[in-house]
Every structure is written in structure tokens, then in C-alpha cells.
Amino acid sequence: MSFVLNEEETMLRDGAQQFLEEQAPVTALRALRDSGDPVGFSRDLWAAMAEMGWCGILVGEDHGGVDMGCAAAGLVLEQIGRNLAASPFLSTAVLGASAFNLAGTDAQKAAWLPKIAAGETVIALALDERARHNPSHITTRAAKDGNGFRLTGAKRYAVNGAGADLLIVAARTEDERINLFLVSPEAAGVTRTSRRTLDSHVPADITFEDVKLDGDALLSGAEDSEAAYRHLLDIGRAAQAAEALGVGQKAFDLTLDYIREREQFGAPIGSFQGMQHRAAHLYGELELARSLVRRALTTLDTQPAQAPLWCAAAKAKATAVSRLAAAEGIQMYGGVGMTDEYDIGLYYKRAQAAGEFLGDDAFNAGEVARMSGY
């Protein structure tokens, strides 16, 4: 485990930076938003990401992936955050692939992982049922029905839900344990309602009314399905934290550029100590968040049993810091920071949305307290 990027990682980061700045700059997000895109991301971009090999970043080589690990996925996500690039990378290449890795049978892996790696599928995790993230509050039920199941319940704000062609649904089986099920959004009894959120993404509320599932819809490859489910969420937290870090870091960089240029009282506003101290404080906070994000991701790759604490800590810190960076950015821009024309407001909105997914700073601080035994 190392905090310093190795050569391969440096290449990946630099490649991601260049690719996303060219193919998915903030103007691309604005275009999706202004055209009212029904799914909130571009299929062309997704196909190009597949060509870069990113879709298989967590897929084993035997299934057509490049198997680079969570730390590598985090480097891509940080660049995604910096550019506000809208894509199903987190929901599909990270959470989708990890669900199969952790809980899929060999047959399920063979059926789906190659498709993920090739960029041929978009997956949404249908998890939360309440307004605030709560992974234990799962009331969706999968009742045994012959060799298969019948699924009933309602999910809210499934990320990338509008554009997904496969849903992975968290539901309780008759033994009260939480299991993951593969469900086609086109199946009879599935109703999907697009929700438009402030960051111009399009998640979906999804209801399941007595949806008939085959037996092999259950991801049944894990010894302990609930442990796999929790581990999946940990991976998601670290990954989402990496994106949030990118959002916060770029918001900060934009703000520094602005306060070096903008003049008032005959001097750059960045020369005023009131501005400098806010910026210097933010710098320290971003450094702390960066260390935790890297630590969480590398721990997932090398000592997964110790990862939960780091993942919750990283998610809590990155959420709070990215929100602060963008909020401080708006303040330091002054009036123009409130306009749609300037990008800083878009960063503020994405920071809030990324913060909510898989638990905000308050939720994850509670997890840290619980895991620390107090």
C-alpha cells in the first residue's frame, strides 16, 4: 500500500485527465442539461470510456477486463469529478462490476462481466427506500415462488436509474437477510419514474409489483450475502468519495484562478488576507480528504477487512470538504458565483448530490463512531 502513485497509476491519471478534458468538459454537462436529455449522460462518451478500457477496470482479465483495482478506479473518478463528467462509470463499472465480483456465481459472472467491460450495459443499483441513505432499511421483499421469486417494493433515486438496462435490487429474502437481485427494468410489474436532480443527473424511482424472477436472478455466489452487500457499499463510498474529492479540488482550483485575476481596491482580491486565510484553510482540508480517499481505496485493494472504517471516514470527509470548497468558491467569486454562466455553482450542486449518495458526512460519521466502539 502506497500513498505515492506508481508509474502505471500516474499514466492512468494523466490519460484520464486529458481524455475527460477533451471529451467530457463541463460544457458537455451543460449541453445534456439544456437539451433535457432523458438519461442524463451520453452513450457516445460511455462507448469511448469502454475503448479506454475503463469499463473493465474492476473486471478480471478472464472476463475481458483490465482488473486494476479500486485505487485505479478512484483516479478515474477524481478526474470525472473535476470535469463534472456525467457517465454511468460509478454505477456500472464500479458498483455493477463489484456486485458480480462479490456475490455473483461463475455463470452470472460469465454472463455479465464481459458486457460490463465492453461498455454494452448500463447498471443501476436500486438500494435506498427513504429520503436519507439507510442501508439497513430494506423493506423490499423477494418471496420464494417455485424455483424463483416474486419481488415487491419501492426504491428511490436509483443513480442512473433512467438509463439503466439492468437493475441490481437490494431485497430481503424470507430469512430476513438482504440479498441482491438482477432485474430487467422492462420486466412486467416494474415501473420506473425519472427524477431530475439539481446536478442534471437523472436517477429513477422504481416500484416492483409482484415481479416474477427466475431463480438465477439472485446473486448467490457469496458465502454471506449480507457481508457482500455491505462490502459493495464500502467500495461505493470510497469511489464516490474520490469523485467528490475531484469536485472539491477543481472548485478550489477555479476559485484560486479567479481571485488571482479579479481586482478590487486596485489590487487582486487574492491579495487580501481575509481571502487568503479562507483559501489556505481549504487547502489543508483538501489535503486531509485526499489522504483519506487514497487510504480507503488502497485498503480496499490490499486489506479489505480493514476497509470499512477508512471508507466511511473518507466518504464523510470528502463530502464535507467538497461541499465546503464549492460553497467557499461561491462566496469568493462574489455575485458572479451565483450566476448560471459561471461553473462554480455547478460544482456546488454536484458536491451536494455526490455527498448524499451512500450517506452524507453525518451518516458516515455515525458509522465511524459505531465501528470505533463508542
Partner 1 sequence: MPLDTFRTETRAWLEANCPPSMRKPIASEADICWGGKDWTFTSEDQKIWLERMVEKGWTVPAWPKEYGGAGLSKEEAFILKEEMKAINARSPLDSFGIWMLGPALLKYGTHEQKLEHLPPIARGEIRWCQGYSEPGAGSDLASLRSKGVLNGDHYVVNGQKVWTSYADRSDWIFALVRTEADAPKHLGISFLLIDMDQPGVTTKPIKLISGKSPFCETFFDDAKALVANRLGEAGQGWEIAKYLLSHERAGIVSEAAFGGMNPVTAAHQSGEVDETGRLADPILRGDVARLTIDGLAFDATLRRIKEEGDHGEGVGARASMLKYVGTELNKRRHELNMSALGMDGLLWEGDKESDGDPARAWLRSRANSIEGGTSEIQLNIISKRVLNLPGA
Nearest to 344 by CA among 241, 259, 237: 259
Q: Which residues bind partner 1 (CB under 8 A)?
A: 2-4, 256, 259-260, 267-268, 270-273, 275-277, 279-281, 283-284, 287-292, 294-295, 309-310, 313, 316-317, 361-362, 365-366, 368-369, 372-374
Q: Which residue lies nearer to partner 1 by CB, 147 or 273? A: 273
d(CA 333, CA 312): 32
Q: If DSSP codes are grouped into helix, strand and coil, which group holds residue 132?
A: coil
> In the complex, what is the shortest distance from the CB of residue 338 to partner 1, in angstroms, rounded to a whole number?
23
d(CA 83, CA 174): 44
Q: Which residue lies nearer to partner 1 by CB, 341 or 374? A: 374
> In the complex, what is the shortest distance from the CB of residue 114 to partner 1, in angstroms, rounded to a whole number?
36
> In the complex, what is the shortest distance from the CB of residue 314 to partner 1, in angstroms, rounded to a whole number?
8
> In the complex, what is the shortest distance from the CB of residue 352 to partner 1, in angstroms, rounded to a whole number?
19
d(CA 50, CA 115): 10
Nearest to 308 by CA among 374, 223, 372: 372
Q: Which residue lies nearer to partner 1 by CB, 204 or 316? A: 316
Q: Which residue lies nearer to partner 1 by CB, 7 or 186? A: 7
- For residue 362 the three cell numbers come to 453525518
Q: Which residue lies nearer to partner 1 by CB, 2 or 303? A: 2
Q: Which residue lies nearer to partner 1 by CB, 136 or 273? A: 273
- Work out the burial of residue 34: count CB atoms within 10 Å of its CB; fewer than 13 is exposed, 13-18 middle, 19 or more buried: exposed
| Angle of CA points 157, 351, 137, to nearest 5° | 35
Asked if 96 and 104 count as a contact pair (C-beta separation under 8 A), the reply is no
d(CA 332, CA 111): 51
> In the complex, what is the shortest distance from the CB of residue 281 to partner 1, in angstroms, rounded to a whole number?
7
> In the complex, what is the shortest distance from the CB of residue 342 to partner 1, in angstroms, rounded to a whole number?
20
